[in-house]
Chains A and B, each alone.
Chain A
């Protein structure tokens, strides 16, 4: 690999905790979570079987973001969150428009939001079967903010247009591995010299009737009510499924040379990226964690790191019965030498701000970078009694102060699409 070093110089995150990464970090270190009672807006009765989620709370919108154009243009919710997160990341980086002109934008934005009201426009006036012909005849009534009007790469383009970026503008589609793929692809683009700067991340919201109904029917989303808002319990024996969050996260990546030339201070260094395919079943992870292990090993190889150098794994940790066991097994495979898995820290952010689906890897990468910067590991909350097959140090309950020189951030997508990012503490003179 070339000697080009790639660093994170800007970060932006929109989650249920708020609209700034500083708030996210502070709340997470305080072992808080932002899961709360939730029902789809379209329903009047409190009858939807999924009762909890981690939605973005618009009352937390800070004054300086209230006039952001994302809130007024016709956009899907995911695009609004993503645009704001990307703007925050770029502002955080201190890059000016001239420095962004040849930058790349890479973005994962998940599935489009189907509007039930749009679908009902297919209704025939004479009661005949619904038909797209009727919808086309009533095209003027179609929502400007739903899937019929919004192309899937809308967010990537709106960010590029706003920032004036003329480099590659890429929309990623790899389910819950999407944002991690976006950051990994951006890292490699800079390393091989395709661009010097990239704005990469993702945004998503599945908190709508259509998508959540599908996730519930598939058995992925938890309808558990026993634990109230504390039901996201990664690695716990009482975990029952994913708890959806919404929002977005973006990082600004630069070659170190570019960053230092303009006087920027890196948060952390991106060292490697790996991906793999389970090739097992579309609805379940490979039970021994084969694909997850391949992705982690690929990230280590790409970074030139040995497994025993890793201090922290920011786990995918979905709180689903299958993922958490398979991921634990994968960690044991990769970090088996000298039983290093017994000493490394494993943390699952989804217990704190939910599962951001396609965007999940972005705020989790930010949290991993901050762990490297501050030598602090955020906790896995709601983990009270670990599944007997989940026997690693998951940093249950409270933040941990420990040295973090190197860390992995895992994101595993539905259908067995796996990614892992290798990050390291930024050092002036290299790793």
Chain B
């Protein structure tokens, strides 16, 4: 990277609350799902969007997962505006969850059930035109771009748990390679629907899923009055679904994320990782880092999990008495994706 990259602002929304400080409280209790009482999860009510930024019809036509993403993005609007950048210099990257499934077009389903011999006419009569936009899940990117006036480079990602890292890396590269001067990185977890459970029916240790969203604002410059900064210092990603190979891939990903700063694992002060992932934790058995994770507070957030952890790292870096140092965030999805992100919390004097 040939340009420093700073995480300047963050917004979160999850079962613990809408502020990072909420993630330090008592874990919320998972509740039974309405469609499967045997399973528990951390669901969220649908958020209300700021009417000064978004058209009211968006509130009605966008799925809950999209509304959560928009809710977080909107809260970064003041910080983005304060940068006073031309719209073409602002990038937008997104970790977009899977489209809600089954189809959210319930009026059409009900109508077809009532008159199955009139399937087509019921489908056409009861499908709202904007239903197409829910099929094209990247439409939420268009709403963010329009509301926050982003005309610059874009990238949409949908690689399960690793999509947040994919979106963050793309934003970093756009800034580092001078295609943009700032970037919004937005993400949302999937809605709690049957698809979330039916896609991996044989999972031995099914997690407690949660609904949530997170958004970050990255820039090539730190905030104007900042005394501490959070800098993106390295990243890497890889994949293996082969049980014989996955640890080697994970190890390689971690080493690559540390390599730019010429670090080894022992140099990292804080580790952010899922403590329940035994494979992942086996890579850190002999290292004494402070281990953090907010997953018990939020449930498993899929595409927005990593960005929520980044937001929390930013929060910690700004706490009174925060000690400068490196934080390594490592993610390992059940599908086989590995990701590692190295963040450096630093005193600003270093760059003055």
Contact = CB atoms under 8 A, between A and B. Distances in A.
Contacts of B195: 147-148
A279 B129 contact: no
Interface in B66-119: 87-88, 92, 94, 96, 98-99, 101-103, 105-106, 109-110, 112-113, 119
Nearest to A156: B159
Interface in B119-178: 119-120, 123-124, 127-133, 135-139, 141-143, 145-146, 149-160, 162-163, 166, 170, 173, 177
A141 to B, nearest CB: 11
Interface stretch (A158-166, A248-256, A363-371, A421-429): A158-166
A168 B340 CA distance: 12
Contacts of B153: 274-276, 298
Contact of B141 (A166, A192, A216, A415): A415
The residue in B128, B133, B238, B239 that gathers the most chain A C-beta atoms within 10 A of its C-beta is B239
A166 B249 contact: yes
A417 to B, nearest CB: 6
B241 interface: yes
B262 interface: no
B145 A279 contact: yes
B36 A136 contact: yes
A129 B241 CA distance: 40
The residue in A48, A118, A131, A282 that gathers the most chain B C-beta atoms within 10 A of its C-beta is A282
A153 interface: yes
A16 interface: no
Contact of A166 (B162, B170, B193, B238): B238
A415 B133 CA distance: 9
Given A214-B131, A415-B141, A148 B198 contact: yes
A308 interface: no
B35 interface: yes
Contact of B159 (A111, A131, A153, A174): A153
Contacts of A136: 35-36, 194, 197
A84 B96 CA distance: 26
A135 B35 CA distance: 8
Contacts of B315: none
B74 to A, nearest CB: 15
A171 B157 contact: yes
Given A112-B101, A147-B101, A151-B335, A218 B132 contact: yes
Contact of B166 (A157, A170, A215): A170
A185 interface: yes
A169 B155 contact: no
Nearest to A146: B101
A413 interface: yes
Contacts of A214: 127, 129, 131-132, 135
B239 A276 contact: no
A171 B165 CA distance: 12
B136 A111 contact: yes
B138 A417 contact: yes
Contact of A168 (B36, B113, B199, B239): B239
Given A111-B99, A157-B335, A130 B149 contact: no
B336 interface: yes
B138 A415 contact: yes
Given A133-B34, A185-B170, A279 B156 contact: no
Contacts of A1: 177
A415 B92 CA distance: 13
A412 B205 CA distance: 42
Given A415-B138, A415-B141, A213 B109 contact: no
A333 interface: no
A73 interface: no
B201 interface: yes
B163 A169 contact: no
A126 interface: no
B69 to A, nearest CB: 12
Contacts of B240: 166
Contacts, number: 239
Contacts of A219: 129
A120 interface: yes
B151 A277 contact: yes
B158 A172 contact: yes
A276 B154 contact: yes
A60 interface: no
Contact of A122 (B94, B102, B150, B179): B102
B174 to A, nearest CB: 9
Contact of A277 (B120, B123, B152): B152
Given A132-B194, A277-B151, A173 B137 contact: yes
A45 B120 CA distance: 10
A217 B132 contact: yes
A133 B35 contact: yes
B142 A282 contact: yes
A211 B201 CA distance: 26
B332 interface: no
Contact of A282 (B143, B156, B179): B143
B238 to A, nearest CB: 6
B337 interface: yes
A388 interface: no
A333 to B, nearest CB: 13
A48 B120 contact: yes
Given A147-B99, A213-B123, A282-B142, A142 B92 contact: no
B154 A417 contact: yes
Contacts of A276: 88, 151-154
Contacts of B145: 277-279, 416
B304 to A, nearest CB: 14
Contacts of B249: 166
B278 interface: no
Given A135-B102, A171-B159, A281-B146, A413 B110 contact: no
8 contacts: A130-B110, A133-B36, A166-B240, A168-B239, A217-B128, A276-B151, A282-B139, A282-B142
10 smallest CB-CB distances across A and B, nearest first, come from A415-B142, A132-B35, A214-B132, A174-B156, A173-B158, A169-B239, A279-B145, A277-B145, A218-B132, A173-B156
Given A112-B101, A168-B239, A291-B151, 8 more contacts: A148-B198, A166-B238, A168-B237, A171-B163, A192-B173, A214-B131, A283-B133, A414-B136
Interface of B: 34-36, 87-88, 92, 94, 96, 98-99, 101-103, 105-106, 109-110, 112-113, 119-120, 123-124, 127-133, 135-139, 141-143, 145-146, 149-160, 162-163, 166, 170, 173, 177, 179, 193-195, 197-199, 201, 237-242, 245, 249, 335-337
